[in-house]
C-alpha cells in the first residue's frame, strides 16, 4: 500500500505535469488543491473508504476515485502516461523551489535543459537571464535552491521515519526470539533531520532483513554484536565521537554490562540519556550533576499557538478545544492569524471580537478547562505588530511571528524581531527563524542578541513543534535557560491531529536539556496568567 506522503506527492505531481504540458488548467488546479488540502490535514489513508475520502471538504467524487486508484492499484494511470512523455530530469527540476511548471517548460523547450545538473550549469553560465520571466535575481535564487537541495539529498525528517523504523524493529523481534535490538546513531539521539538509520542486534550471525523494510526510504545499516557486549555497543553506537572522547570511552574494554547506566557508572559518570549524547555541554553538566530531569510530554499542562476555521485551520474553535481537553490538557490557546495575513484568512478587528465572544460562551460551558484568547500577530516589515494597542490588550497573550519578506539580512532581521519583542503586548516570539527543515534555511538572526532581548522584555521563545520547523533550534535552548527565557512548546496546529506534534517538540527540547521548570506551558493556568501579565 502506498504511504500517505506518496499519495499526496502523486496528486501534486499529476497536477504539475498537466500544467507542464499545458493540458487542462482546471484539472491541474483540482489536483493541486487536493494535494494541498490533504497535506495540510496530514491525512491518513489507511482503512479509509471512498465515501470517507469523498466527505473531505474540497475533494469530491472524481478526485476521491483517483485517490482510490492509487490506494488499490499502487499507481495512477493518468500520472504514468504523463511521466512516460516527460524526461525524468525535467520532473526533477519541478522540485526546485521557485520553479513552477511554466518556468520549467520554458527552460525545457527554449533552452533544452533536461536535468537539474544542466540547470545549475546554465545558472553558472548566466543563461537563464535570456528567458522571458527570468532575471538575475531569479537566476541567483534558482542556483541557491539547487545547492540547498543537493546538500539535503537523502535526508529525512525524524518524524517521517520514527513509526516505520519501530515497526521494522517489532517485525525483527517477531522473527527473532530472545534477541536484543536497539536503535543507535542519529535516530537514537532523535536528531531533527536523519541521514542514516542504524540498528544494533545482539547476534553474530548476520542476516538479511530487507524483506521487512517497508515504507523506509533510507538504507538500513545493521550492526551485529556479541550478546554480552550489547550495552557497551549501545553507548558506542548512539554517541557522537565527541561524546565518546569526553567520557573517555576508549578507556573501557568491550565487556558485559547489565544496562547502559552501568557503562556510565564504570566511567564514574551519572547516566546520560541517548538524546543528549552529542558531545556538546552534556558531559560537563553530568560531571557537575547539573543535568536536570528532562521535560516529558506529561509535564505539559496546555497547548498554545493553534489555528481554527476562523483563519486557515481545518477544525472549528470548539472542535479544537474539545479535543485538547480530551487529551488531558488544562488549557488551550487559540492563535489564529492576524489581519495582515490575507493569505491565511487573517482576522479583521470585527472577527477578533466575534471570536472572543465565542470563547466567552464556550468557557462558560467548560469545567476545569479554559480557552485562552490569543493571536498570532504578524511582525510587519518595520517590526511593529498589525493591530493597535486597543486590540492587542484584549488578548490573554500574543504570539509575534514573521511570515512575509523573509529574504532579510541578519541586521534587518534582528532589528525587526527586537522591535516586536519590545512591544509590551508580545508574550511569545513565534518560530524565530522561519525555517522549514529540508526546504528553507530560514532568515539569519543573531540568536544571542534575540534571546537577550527576550530576557530583557519578559518574552518567551517558541519551540515550534511541527516536525518541519522545530524552531527555535534546540542548540540554543541552553543559552535561553542561562538567560532565564522560558520556552513555549507549541504545535502550531491547524487541525486537531496537529496536537500530537507536541511529542516532536518535547523530543528536541530534551536535547536542549529543557526541564519542566523552564517551559512556559508546563505552568498551571494560574501560573501562566501571572507569567503573561508580566
CATH of span 4-151 = 1.10.150.110
pLDDT in tens, 370-411: 999 999 999 999 999 999 999 999 999 999 999 989 989 999
The residue-averaged pLDDT of 84-110 equals 93
Question: SS3 of 436, please?
Answer: strand
Beta bridge partners of 331: 302, 370
- What is the per-residue pLDDT for 230? 97
Matching residue, cell 471538504: 57
Closest CA to 220 of 242, 238, 245, 194: 194
Residue 281 and residue 478 in contact, taking contact as beta carbons nearer than 8 Å:
yes
- The CATH class, in words, for 156-287 is alpha beta
CA–CA separation, 386 vs 375, rounded Å? 11
Q: Please, what's the largest Cα pairwise distance for the chain? A: 71
Q: Is the pLDDT of residue 425 over 90?
A: yes
Helix residue ranges, H only, 94-240:
101-111, 116-124, 136-151, 158-175, 185-188, 230-238
3-state secondary structure labels for all residues of 476-533? HHHHHHHCCCCEEEECCECCHHHHHHHHHHHHHHHHCCCCHHHEHHHCCHHHHHHHHH
Q: Phi/psi class of residue 296: alpha, beta or left (left: φ > 0; alpha: ψ in -120 to 50)?
A: beta
What lies within 8 Å, CB to CB, of 404 at 6+ separation is 340, 378, 381
Provide the CATH topology of domain 297-533: TIM Barrel (3.20.20)
Domain ranges, ordered by start, for the chain: 4-151, 156-287, 297-533
Work out the percent of the chain whose per-residue pLDDT is above 90: 78
pLDDT in tens, 208-241: 999 999 889 899 999 999 999 999 999 999 999 9
CA–CA separation, 127 vs 109, rounded Å? 14
Mean per-residue pLDDT of the chain: 94
Is 156-287 in the same CATH topology as 4-151?
Answer: no
- What is the per-residue pLDDT for 355? 98
pLDDT in tens, 261-314: 999 999 999 999 999 999 999 999 999 999 999 999 999 999 999 999 999 888
CA–CA separation, 344 vs 214, rounded Å? 37
CA–CA separation, 80 vs 77, rounded Å? 5
Cα separations in angstroms, 253 against 182, 233, 257, 267: 21, 11, 11, 11
CA–CA separation, 305 vs 211, rounded Å? 42
The residue-averaged pLDDT of 427-443 equals 92
pLDDT in tens, 315-327: 999 999 999 999 9
Q: Is the pLDDT of residue 247 over 70?
A: yes
- What is the per-residue pLDDT for 1? 67
What lies within 8 Å, CB to CB, of 180 at 6+ separation is 201, 202, 227, 230
Amino acid at each position: 500500500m502506498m504511504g500517505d506522503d506518496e499519495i499526496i506527492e502523486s496528486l501534486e505531481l499529476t497536477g504539475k505535469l498537466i500544467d507542464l504540458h499545458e493540458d487542462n488548467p482546471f484539472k491541474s488546479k483540482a489536483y493541486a488543491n487536493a494535494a494541498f488540502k490533504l497535506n495540510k490535514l496530514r491525512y491518513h489513508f489507511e482503512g479509509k473508504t471512498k465515501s470517507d475520502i469523498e466527505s473531505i471538504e474540497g475533494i469530491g467524487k472524481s478526485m476521491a476515485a483517483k485517490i482510490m486508484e492509487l490506494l488499490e492499484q499502487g499507481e495512477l494511470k493518468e500520472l504514468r502516461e504523463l511521466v512516460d512523455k516527460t524526461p525524468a530530469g525535467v520532473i526533477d527540476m519541478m522540485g526546485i523551489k521557485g520553479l513552477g511548471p511554466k518556468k520549467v517548460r520554458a527552460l525545457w523547450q527554449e533552452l533544452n535543459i533536461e536535468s537539474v545538473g544542466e540547470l545549475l550549469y546554465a545558472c553558472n553560465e548566466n543563461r537563464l537571464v535570456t528567458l522571458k520571466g527570468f532575471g538575475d535575481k531569479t537566476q541567483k535564487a534558482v542556483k541557491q535552491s539547487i545547492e540547498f537541495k543537493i546538500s539535503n539529498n537523502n535526508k529525512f525528517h525524524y518524524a517521517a521515519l520514527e513509526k516505520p523504523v519501530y515497526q521494522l524493529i517489532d517485525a525483527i523481534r517477531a522473527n527473532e526470539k530472545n534477541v536484543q535490538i536497539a536503535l543507535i546513531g542519529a535516530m537514537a539521539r532523535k536528531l531533527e533531520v536523519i541521514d542514516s538509520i542504524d540498528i544494533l542486534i545482539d547476534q553474530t550471525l548476520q542476516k538479511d532483513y530487507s524483506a521487512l523494510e517497508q515504507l523506509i526510504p533510507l538504507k538500513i545499516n545493521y550492526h551485529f554484536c556479541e550478546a554480552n557486549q550489547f550495552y557497551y555497543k549501545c553507548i558506542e553506537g548512539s554517541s557522537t565521537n565527541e561524546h565518546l572522547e569526553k567520557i573517555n570511552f576508549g578507556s573501557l574494554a568491550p565487556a558485559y554490562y547489565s544496562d547502559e547506566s552501568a557503562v556510565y557508572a564504570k566511567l564514574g559518570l551519572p547516566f546520560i540519556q541517548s538524546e543528549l549524547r552529542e558531545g556538546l555541554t552534556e558531559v560537563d553538566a553530568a560531571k557537575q550533576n547539573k543535568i536536570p530531569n528532562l521535560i516529558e510530554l506529561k509535564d505539559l499542562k496546555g497547548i498554545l499557538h493553534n489555528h481554527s476555521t476562523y483563519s486557515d485551520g481545518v477544525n472549528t474553535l470548539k472542535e479544537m478545544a474539545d479535543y485538547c481537553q480530551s487529551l488531558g490538557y488544562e488549557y488551550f490557546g487559540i492563535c489564529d492569524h492576524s489581519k495582515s495575513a490575507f493569505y491565511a484568512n487573517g482576522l479583521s478587528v470585527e472577527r477578533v471580537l466575534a471570536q472572543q465572544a465565542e470563547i466567552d460562551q464556550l468557557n462558560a460551558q467548560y469545567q476545569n478547562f479554559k480557552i485562552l484568547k490569543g493571536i498570532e500577530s504578524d511582525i510587519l516589515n518595520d517590526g511593529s505588530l498589525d493591530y493597535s494597542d486597543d486590540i492587542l490588550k484584549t488578548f490573554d497573550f500574543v504570539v509575534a511571528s514573521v511570515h512575509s519578506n523573509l529574504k532579510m539580512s541578519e541586521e534587518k532581521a534582528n532589528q525587526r524581531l527586537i522591535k516586536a519583542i519590545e512591544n509590551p503586548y508580545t508574550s511569545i516570539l513565534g518560530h524565530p527563524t522561519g525555517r522549514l527543515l529540508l526546504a528553507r534555511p530560514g532568515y539569519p538572526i543573531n540568536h544571542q542578541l534575540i534571546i537577550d532581548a527576550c530576557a530583557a522584555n519578559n518574552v518567551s521563545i517558541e519551540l515550534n513543534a511541527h516536525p518541519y520547523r522545530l524552531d527555535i533550534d534546540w542548540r540554543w535552548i541552553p543559552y535561553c535557560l542561562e538567560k532565564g527565557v522560558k520556552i513555549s512548546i507549541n504545535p502550531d496546529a491547524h487541525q486537531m491531529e496537529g496536537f500530537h506534534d507536541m511529542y516532536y517538540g518535547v523530543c528536541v527540547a530534551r536535547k536542549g536539556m529543557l526541564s519542566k521548570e523552564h517551559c512556559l506551558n508546563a505552568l498551571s493556568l494560574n501560573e501562566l496568567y501571572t507569567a503573561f501579565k508580566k
